[in-house]
Structure 1
Amino acid sequence: MLDDLRLPLGDWVESAVDWITANLAVVFDVIKTIVLALYEFVEVLLVEPPFWVMIPILAAIAFLVRGWKMGLGTIVGLFVIVLVNQWDNAMATLALALVAAVFALLLAIPLGIWAARNDRVSNIVRPILDFLQTMPAFVYLIPAIILFSVGVVPGIIATIAFAMAPGVRLTELGIRGVDKEIVEAGTAFGASPGRILRQIQLPLALPTIMTGVNQIIMLSLSMVVIAAMVGAGGLGQPIVQALQRIDVGLGAEAGLSVVILAIILDRVTNSLGNLKDSSPVAKYRALGWGSRQAIAAGRVPVTPGAAPAAETTNAAAPSGR
């Protein structure tokens, strides 16, 4: 009796996958070529230079973003990776995470903007994001293998699907959280929707959006380790080998390398969001209400360190008010 009531979901999915692989093979070949080319380019940039060249470069980036303590910590952490003989694997993992994060951001931020500006799109996207976030990480590897075979590309594709949901949510949240009065002021002074988005909503939503960027990068790093199970390589490969051989030492070395990379990426991306304290966005927030209206209309230039004069603001107001 129960057999008669069985829902043939698996048969439907297999039929759909067969149709996709038969009719859209060219599309997936193009995607595979693009993703693989970008990954190989980034991998060459990170892996080919010797560690004594790359460590100062990465430490300089950390220093510029967060300060000398982070720069020094980056040098120490990366040198530990060299000492445990995981440098090449660590750079390959970093290349995988960065490429996946770039593609995830290219999808997540525009989709989040669209959802923030259109309630119907938001209602459609929200359950899809819920589905993506609750799906176990290993499940993403199955369709990726079917569509792209084994190797680096299915690992990156699975990572993109796994990591992009927080970017969409936080981009939408940031734009919807912008003060409506500021947006209305820009509209009242004749600013186009595109200009309001570029000059008001995105700058003011930047801290929240950067939190989404941070989450995408961290999820990408966690997923590319799992993606080693389909041949993605990097630090995930020695971790999988350690599991198969029950090699505690190898697992500890590779795991410590992942932790060091995660800490560096987390601190750097968090600091990028905190750069707003000295940016034009902070000065914009510190200005008076009348100056905000004029800037929203794009009629009063902002001079760093000084607010526009009240007379200039009054002159920018439309006549008859």
Structure 2
Amino acid sequence: MNSSVIGKFAENAVNFLFQHFRGGFDAFSAALGAVVKLLEDGLAAVPFVAMLVILVAFALWRRGVVFAVFVGAALMVIHYMGLWAQTVSTLALVIAATFFSLVIGVPLGIWGARNKRVEVILRSLLDFMQTMPAFVYLIPAVILFGLGRVPAVIATIVFSMPPVVRLTTLGIRQVREELLEAGRAFGSTDSQLLWKIQLPNALPSIMAGVNQTIMMALSMVVVASMIGAGGLGEYVLSGIQRLDIGIGFEGGLGVVLLAIVLDRLTESFGLKAKKTRRSVRPAKPAATSTAVRT
């Protein structure tokens, strides 16, 4: 089956980048690979018991006793299945992809919120990024960066970045106009309005974007196991290739437990930010009686 003109254009564009900027891609791949490996080695160096205590204590602080018990049970189940090393590898990939998604996505969201033309362009681009099948991102990533963790992280960044861009833009645009007017009345610059009024009030929406970015990164890392990303996704892929229900279920259960833990922990920051924002809202003036005594 031959590709059409559009497909040939995309193929030629990727080949052009590979032929003329191969040195740059190789250097970037080496740097990103070193960052991911350093992160994975750092997480792997922490003993399981120490990681268990840290995460349970963190869950107790953020969500309470019930969720702390769940986190402890989830980690014990993962360790019992012998998937702790794969979980650490997957967690490192998710953290790396999420970090770079936020570094790129939050500024883009701010730019889109402050410039209508940029917002229109970003909306079209994000629609494309979100609706394109995830497997398609793997093809140019492999051509430009080879097999392994680096193309997996690159493809994951492209796939998981749209939510944080959209929700950052939405959160800033939903900041009440009277707050901005009050800031301007006190002589605030655009930069001060952004950092002291818009971003603090948009924090719940931004944290929701962070939460969704982490979830999409986790789902994409599993798909990226097809190009050598490793981790829990490779375990699931092995079960599919061998038609082994047990291996596939254990790998899938590990992904589910990790997803729930990450989802609830990141969600707690958004909930706290929302409560804080509500608590600092000015109280409405009490209604005064206008009745006239007779």
Global fold match (TM > 0.5): yes
1:258-269 to structure 2, matched below 5 A, reads: 258-269=255-266
Structure 2: segments with no counterpart, 5+ residues:
286-294
- Deviation string 1:180-235 (CA, Å, 9 cap, x unpaired) is 11112111221000100001000111111110000000000111011100000000
Measure how far apart 1:64 and its partner are.
1.8
Q: CA deviation at 1:282?
A: 4.2
Q: Which runs of 4+ in 1 moved over 3 A?
A: 286-289
User: 2:40, 2:89 within 8 Å by CA — same for their partners in 1?
Assistant: yes
Alignment of 1:32-51 (within 5 A): 32-51=29-48
Candidates 53, 57, 62, aligned match of 2:59: 62
Tell me which residue corresponds to 1:79. 76
1-side partners of 2:138 and 2:284: how far apart? 52
| Equivalent position amino acid for 2:216 in 1 | L
Structure 1 distance, partners of 2:193, 2:65, is: 37
- 5 Å-filtered alignment, 1:28-177, equals 28-177=25-174
Instruction: State the alpha-carbon separation in 2 of the partners of residues 282 and 9 from structure 1.
Output: 50
Q: Distance in 2 between matches of 1:228 and 1:194?
A: 42
Deviation at 1:27, TM superposition (A): 2.5
TM-score of the superposed pair, with normalisation by structure 2: 0.92
Name the counterpart of 1:309: none
- Contact in 1 for aligned 2:63/2:268 (Cα 8 Å): yes
The reply to whether residue 228 of structure 1 matches residue 220 of structure 2 is no
Deviations 1:16-67 (A, max 9, x none): 2221112222322232123212211211122222211211112122222212
Q: Which residue number corresponds to residue 308 of structure 1? A: none
Aligned pair 1:213/2:210, yes or no?
yes
Question: For structure 1, which segment, 48-57 or 237-246, has the greater mean C-alpha deviation from structure 2 after superposition?
Answer: 48-57
Shift, 1:278, TM fit: 6.0
The correspondence for 1:284, drawn from 277, 280, 289, is 280
User: Whole-Å Cα distance in 2 between the matches of residues 27 and 125 of structure 1?
Assistant: 26
Aligned-pair CA distance for 1:12: 2.1
Task: Tell me the amino acid that sits aligned with residue 70 of structure 1.
Answer: F
Offset at 1:139? 0.7
TM-superposed CA distance for 1:76, in Å, is 0.6
Partner in structure 2 of residue 183 of structure 1: 180
Alpha-carbon shift at residue 277 of structure 1 (Å): 5.6
Q: TM-score, normalised by structure 1?
A: 0.85
Contact 2:40 2:88 in 1 (8 A): yes
One-letter identity of the residue aligned with 1:153: V
Question: Is 34-43 or 122-131 further displaced after alignment?
Answer: 34-43
Q: Which amino acid aligns with 2:33?
A: L
Distance in 2 between residues matched to 1:286 and 1:69, nearest whole Å: 34
RMSD: 1.7
**Distance in 2 separating the partners of 1:149 and 1:168:** 28
The one-letter amino acid of 2:254's match is S
1:11 to 8, 28, 34: 8
The 2-side partners of 1:283 and 1:52 are apart by 38
Partner of 1:200: 197
Shift of 1:150: 0.3
Query: Structure 1's 91 and 7: CA in aligned 2 closer, same or farther, altered over 3 A?
Result: closer
Structure 1 pair 260–286 and aligned structure 2 pair: CA distance change class (3 A): farther
* 1:274-308 CA-partner distances (Å, limit 9, x unpaired): 112664x444324679xxxxxxxxxxxxxxxxxxx
Aligned residues of 2:57 and 2:68 also touching (Cα < 8 A): yes
| Cα distance change on mapping 1:234 and 1:282 into 2, 3 Å | same
User: Number of paired residues?
Assistant: 284
Look up the SS of the partner of 2:161 in the other structure.
helix
Offset at 1:13?
2.2
